[in-house]
């Protein structure tokens, strides 16, 4: 087995190779002046099980992954596993409005062409795995995230909205903590109040758990409310930290005492490594 590290997943690839006792493939990569991606594998993959690791964000990483699949295939790899720690494009998982594209399906159909297996971490919705015509696994980093939250004194877990309920409930269960979700009540045309549905957060160390933090808007609004309602500490936690447009600063300004995510996207607050839960898929097959 050999692990090929995509540019967007360098740290995770190294840890995955370590966990699997596999070699990391040496490679050359560059970007042409027009933005085109170039890759060259310096080690042969002939007859090897090639494990290609690349989050599909930003867009160039998706193109690089497709090139790596072609490289592994044309070099004669015996098996190709594609590990996409954060599967970008998965949020468009159905047609919400007539004429839209189910992006999660369109990208799945590209990724599966040269691959035997697809593995991702905390997919936005489980049913996106069904878009792949090959073996597809969704593993969860929530127990690892929960362990981190436990060691940081979190006693209450909140979902920022109903959509994040299952994931946050799972984190609370792993942690043995109280659980609730935030509910929005519109007071007037311009006034909205967000409150934990059942629990009183006064004096509590609360973690708000979601799968993705993008602009940070959802969690920032929730955090500010929780602080106003007397929470002692607020931790913003997610699997995939996109943190776009100054989201980290926005979260801190809103009252988040800590922000944490996994390394499915490599950020300054990726304090939780997801390699072990990915490695388990390969260990279970061995
Ligand atoms: C939504 O579908 C996701 O689960 C997150 O709730 C969303 O991406 C968060 O976005 P933002 O950080 O921009 O509020």
Residue matched to tokens 């913003």: 236
Ligand 1 contacts (CB < 6 A) are 91, 163-164, 210-218
Enclosing H/E stretch for 178: strand 178-186
Using CA positions, which residue lies closest to atom 10 of ligand 1?
214
Atom of ligand 1 nearest to the CA of 215: 13
For residue 197, the model assigns a pLDDT of: 84
The single residue listed with the structure tokens 């399906």 is 105
- List of residues 6+ apart from 93 with CB closer than 8 A: 102, 104, 124, 125, 127, 128
Residue 186 has pLDDT above 90, yes or no: no
Alpha carbon of 87 to ligand 1 centroid (Å): 14
The predicted pLDDT at position 188 comes to 75
Higher per-residue confidence, 264 vs 200: 264
* pLDDT of the residue at 114: 97
User: Has residue 46 got a pLDDT over 90?
Assistant: yes
Residues 6+ apart with CB under 8 A from 167: 122, 142, 159, 209, 210, 211
What does the pLDDT look like over 62-74, one tens digit per residue? 999 999 999 999 9
Nearest-CA residue for atom 3 of ligand 1: 212
Whether the per-residue pLDDT at 122 is higher than 90: the answer is: yes
Dist. CA 212–CA 220, nearest whole Å = 13
Residue 286 has pLDDT above 90, yes or no: no
Alpha-carbon span 286 to 281, nearest angstrom: 9
The Å distance, Cα 92 to ligand 1 centre, comes to: 12
CA of 213 to the centre of ligand 1 (A): 5
List beta partners, residue 193: 185
Torsion over CA: 31, 33, 36, 39 (sign): negative
Q: How confident is the model at residue 193 (pLDDT cuts 50, 70, 90)?
A: confident
SS3 of 84-141: the string is ECCCCCCCCCCCCCCCCCCHHHHHHHHHCCCCCEEEEECCCCHHHHHHCCCEEEEECC
- pLDDT > 90: percent of the chain: 90
Q: What is the pTM of this model?
A: 0.95
- Mean pLDDT value of segment 98-125: 97
pLDDT for 185 beyond 90: no
Q: Which of 105, 125, 184, 232 is catalytic?
A: 184
Query: Would you state the pLDDT for residue 192?
Result: 67
> 30: Cβ–Cβ under 8 A, 6 or more apart, which residues?
38
Task: Kindly give the distance from the C-alpha atom of residue 218 to the centroid of ligand 1, in angstroms, as a whole number.
Answer: 6
Atom of ligand 1 lying closest to residue 214 CA: 12
Could you tell me how many residues make up the chain?
A: 286
pLDDT digits (tens, 9 = 90+) for 199-238: 889 999 999 999 999 999 989 999 999 999 999 999 999 9
114 is catalytic: no
285 sits in which H/E element: helix 275-285
Q: Which residues contact 179 (CB under 8 A, 6 or more apart)?
A: 156, 157, 158, 168, 169, 172, 173
Report, in angstroms and rounded to the nearest whole number, the Rg of the chain calculated over CA atoms.
20
Torsion 212-218-220-222 (CA) sign: negative
Tokens of 35: 């933005």
Averaged pLDDT of the chain = 95
User: Relative to the CA of 164, which ligand 1 atom is closest?
Assistant: 4
Q: Cis link prior to 58 (omega < 30° from 0)? A: yes
Q: What dihedral do alpha carbons 270, 81, 16, 70 form, nearest 10°?
A: -80
pLDDT above 70: percentage of residues in the chain = 99
What is the arithmetic mean of pLDDT over 270-275?
Answer: 98
Q: Categorize the per-residue pLDDT at 194 as very low, low, confident or very high, splitting at 50, 70 and 90.
A: confident
| Closest by Cα among 134, 137, 133 to 122 | 137
**174 vs 227: CA distance, rounded Å:** 25
> Would you call 46 exposed, middle or buried from its count of C-beta atoms within 10 A (0-12, 13-18, 19+)?
exposed
């Amino acid at each position: 087995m050999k692990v090929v590290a995509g540019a967007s997943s360098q740290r995770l690839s190294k840890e995955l190779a370590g966990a699997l006792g596999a070699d990391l493939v040496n490679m050359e990569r560059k970007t042409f002046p027009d933005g085109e991606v170039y890759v060259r594998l310096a080690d042969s993959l002939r007859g090897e099980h090639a494990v290609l690791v690349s989050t599909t964000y930003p867009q160039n990483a998706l193109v690089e992954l497709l090139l790596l699949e072609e490289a592994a295939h044309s070099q004669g790899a015996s098996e190709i596993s594609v590990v996409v720690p954060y599967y970008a494009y998965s949020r468009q998982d159905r047609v919400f409005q007539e004429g839209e594209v189910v992006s999660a399906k369109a990208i799945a159909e590209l990724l599966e062409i040269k691959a035997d297996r697809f593995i991702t971490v905390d997919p936005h919705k489980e049913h996106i795995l069904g878009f792949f015509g090959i073996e597809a696994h969704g593993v969860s980093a929530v127990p690892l995230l929960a362990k981190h939250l436990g060691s940081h004194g979190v006693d209450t877990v909140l979902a920022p909205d109903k959509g994040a309920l299952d994931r946050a409930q799972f984190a609370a269960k792993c942690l043995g903590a109280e659980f609730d979700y935030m509910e929005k009540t519109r007071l007037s045309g311009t006034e909205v109040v967000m409150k934990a549905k059942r629990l009183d957060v006064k004096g509590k160390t609360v973690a708000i758990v979601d799968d993705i933090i993008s602009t940070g808007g959802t969690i920032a609004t929730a955090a500010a409310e929780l602080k106003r309602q007397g929470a002692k500490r607020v931790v913003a936690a997610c699997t995939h930290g996109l943190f776009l447009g100054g989201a980290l600063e926005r979260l801190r300004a809103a009252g988040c005492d800590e922000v944490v995510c996994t390394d499915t996207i490599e950020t300054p607050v990726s304090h939780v490594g997801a390699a072990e839960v990915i490695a388990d898929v390969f260990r279970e097959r061995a």
